[in-house]
Chains A and B, each alone.
Chain A
Amino acid sequence: MAELEAGATGARRPRPISPHLQIYRPMLTMTMSIVHRITGAGLYFGMLLLAWWLIAAAAGPNAYANFEWFMGSLIGRLVLLGFTWALMHHLLGGIRHLVWDLGYGFQPAEREMLAVATIVGSIALTLLVWVIGYFAMGGLR
């Protein structure tokens, strides 16, 4: 009825809209959800790195040497470290979603625990992968 009255006078009343992210107090579970999307987008472009690696290997020793040079540089290592962490975080975030899909982990304490496990686990797994990686290469170099 209010809308009809507003229409009669020619003025258009703004429709009510639902509140968006900035209205809520930031919480860990919400942050992990956002980070899941950001790491997904990062990995999307990170697939270029995998494609470069495979194409370089298929193209020949010179192309592969260029790839190795870049990945061995400081920037290359930082990119790979970021890629590793994004992959581990997205992996654990995905498992968290699969747990929810099965109907578990919806209690407040459980949700909080899953969020903490995602961030702590992703950092731990990243370190583990890199330590094993450096061991596989025979130490720091």
Chain B
Amino acid sequence: MSGPRHNDMRTPMRRVRGLGAAHSGTADFWHMRVTSAAGVLLTIALVVIVISLLGRSHAAVVQILGSPIVAVIMLLFIVNSIYHMWIGMQEIILDYVHEDKLKFLSLMANTFFCFAVGLASCFAILKLSFGV
């Protein structure tokens, strides 16, 4: 058992400092609420857009996805969802992965995945819009 050592000059505060909460948990909580509220509206919009594009030719899909209003809604959906799922997966990892190396590797992989998928999707929309 590692009780207080009497020859230790350090205070108990010094020993626990850096081992506690990061004090940023409420920001994640709030950002999750903001992105879920926005997500309700944006998901409905996405479903409407996808249904209206079902079975259409490539040329028609390109034209509609690239039109300003649809493109902006798609960009909002992508950015909002990616941020939402970034925090969400981080929460899952922190809940289940306790071994340090694996934990930080998973958190890093989560960030890489979200940035890659998000950027690729946004780039596609912008390319469709600007038609280069």
Contact = CB atoms under 8 A, between A and B. Distances in A.
Nearest to A59: B124
A138 B55 contact: yes
B37 A98 contact: yes
Contact of A58 (B37, B85, B127): B127
Interface stretch (B10-18, B39-47, B99-107): B39-47
A5 to B, nearest CB: 10
A51 B89 contact: no
Contact of B89 (A7, A41, A60, A138): A41
Interface residues of A, number: 35
A7 B3 CA distance: 9
A51 B123 CA distance: 10
B72 to A, nearest CB: 14
Interface residues of B, number: 35
Contact of B88 (A40, A48, A65, A136): A40
Q: Which of A6, A65, A98 has the most CB of B within 10 A?
A: A98
A37 B54 contact: no
Interface in A26-64: 37, 40-41, 43-44, 47-48, 50-51, 54-55, 57-58, 60-61, 64
Contacts of A109: none
Interface string B49-65: 00110110011011001
A50 B59 CA distance: 18
Question: Which of A37, A41, A50, A137 neighbours the largest number of chain B CB atoms within 10 Å of its CB?
Answer: A50
